């Protein structure tokens, strides 16, 4: 017959584990996570179990099993490598009406330990006819589907409320965080930036309202004040709103303004950090923003206005004198003025530069230059936003990586 599946509240309840080998090592952490008071009876234990014992989280009785050990237990795990001992443990448990899991014989076991996983508040437990490997494979598939939103988790009694500011990452839909994807799958309304991972929007349920909050350079523009109003308006209607942004909400994403607008309106806000493009895009182009012996600092600069503009708050002289890596955002249209300023303020015109367009996407491409040549190279290559500009000797590290790879190709 099929087993009757239950979720046990073990908090504060005694669980007996007989055996201290690898099977016990796998099962004890889950029991502890459930709040159980675990007692291990075994002549020896693994190093991992020894650490739990030393920390006081587990009680260890360093001896063989003996009749009477089951007394006071709510659940028993028979995990020894001796079939006769496991049989005796199971018999005592049966006589005392205590559920017992036998690790060595699924058919003789009164209970099975399912392959379990957790995604947020959702617990998944799989039994596959007592086959642990098959159960684990199915568990992994279900957990992954819940994490990435493939399985619809929107219809539940405790859906999030208010607004979630979700960083979608640098562009590749696979680089959004697990938490971000979970919340996106539960949204009633999604307010999406132009730089948010567009492939994720195609996965939204048809009943999700999608609002385009694009800010296209020198093109159409949805004012930030209007975006703030939309977030508050829909949240007040009882809808769960996800503000999906490219990169991280608080790295030149104006997420702080949106959080303040919601706070002033009494709307709860969940903030989900995202992988920011100033770090991710150089990495995707094989350029580390810091490298031992080359650069031990990096600066991220928004160049939405050029050097010398009265609205600029960037200290270009100090940046030019710094030996750190410069990561420039929104800089493509002003790259000539930027390079000229850095050279005038002290950076060598031979400083390496890399400009990466569409970082992490299939359309990613990059040009390499120096401060003296970058403006011309960007124009000749037709580089357009969105793009990240990397200034500094770390660009040479990426070049070295490519050279080593080329040398190893037969």
Q: How far apart are CA 316 and CA 101, in angstroms?
A: 68
96 is catalytic: no
Measured distance CA(74)–CA(97) in Å, rounded? 9
Name 151's Cβ contacts closer than 8 Å, sequence gap at least 6.
Answer: 142, 145
Is there a catalytic annotation at residue 215? yes
* Pair 52, 36: CB distance under 8 Å: no
Find the catalytic residue in 96, 106, 159, 215: 215
Q: Name the catalytic one among 69, 148, 193, 358.
A: 193
| 163-167 and 241-245 beta bridge pairing | parallel
Give the span between the Cα atoms of 248 and 278, in whole angstroms. Answer: 10
Residues designated catalytic: 193, 215
């Amino acid at each position: 017959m099929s087993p009757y599946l239950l979720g046990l509240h073990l908090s504060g309840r005694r669980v007996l584990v007989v055996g201290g080998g690898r099977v016990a090592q796998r099962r004890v952490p889950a029991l502890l996570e459930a709040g159980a008071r675990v007692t291990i009876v075994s002549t020896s234990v693994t190093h991992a179990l020894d650490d739990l014992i030393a920390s006081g989280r587990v009680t260890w009785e360093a001896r063989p099993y003996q009749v009477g050990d089951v007394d006071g237990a709510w659940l028993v795990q028979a995990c020894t490598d001796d079939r006769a001992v496991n049989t005796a443990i199971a018999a005592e448990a049966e006589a005392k009406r205590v559920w017992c899991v036998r690790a060595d014989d699924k058919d003789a076991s009164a209970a099975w330990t399912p392959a379990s996983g957790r995604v947020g508040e959702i617990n998944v437990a799989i039994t596959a006819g007592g086959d642990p490997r098959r159960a684990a494979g199915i568990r992994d598939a279900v957990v992954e589907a819940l994490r990435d939103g493939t399985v619809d988790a929107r219809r539940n009694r405790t859906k999030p409320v208010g607004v979630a500011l979700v960083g979608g990452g640098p562009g590749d839909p696979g680089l959004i965080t697990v938490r971000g994807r979970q919340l996106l799958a539960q949204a009633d309304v999604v307010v999406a930036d132009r730089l948010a991972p567009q492939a994720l929007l195609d996965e939204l349920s048809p009943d999700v309202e999608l609002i385009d909050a694009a800010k296209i350079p020198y093109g159409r523009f949805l004012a930030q004040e209007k975006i703030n109003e939309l977030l508050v308006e829909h949240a007040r209607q009882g809808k769960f709103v996800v503000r999906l942004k490219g990169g991280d909400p608080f790295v030149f994403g104006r997420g702080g303004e949106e959080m303040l607008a919601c706070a002033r309106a009494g709307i709860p806000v969940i903030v989900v950090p995202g992988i920011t493009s100033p770090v991710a895009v150089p990495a995707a182009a094989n350029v580390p923003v810091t490298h031992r012996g080359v650069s031990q600092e990096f600066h991220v600069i928004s160049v939405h206005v050029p050097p010398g503009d009265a609205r600029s708050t960037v200290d270009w002289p100090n940046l030019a004198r710094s030996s750190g890596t410069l990561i420039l955002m929104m800089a493509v249209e002003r790259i000539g003025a930027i390079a000229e300023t850095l050279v005038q303020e002290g950076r060598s015109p031979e400083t390496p530069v890399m400009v990466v367009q569409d970082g992490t996407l299939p359309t990613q491409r990059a040009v390499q230059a120096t401060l003296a040549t970058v403006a011309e190279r960007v124009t000749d290559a037709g580089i357009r936003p969105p793009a990240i500009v990397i200034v500094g000797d770390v660009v040479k590290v990426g070049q070295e990586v490519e050279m080593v790879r080329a040398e190893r190709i037969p």
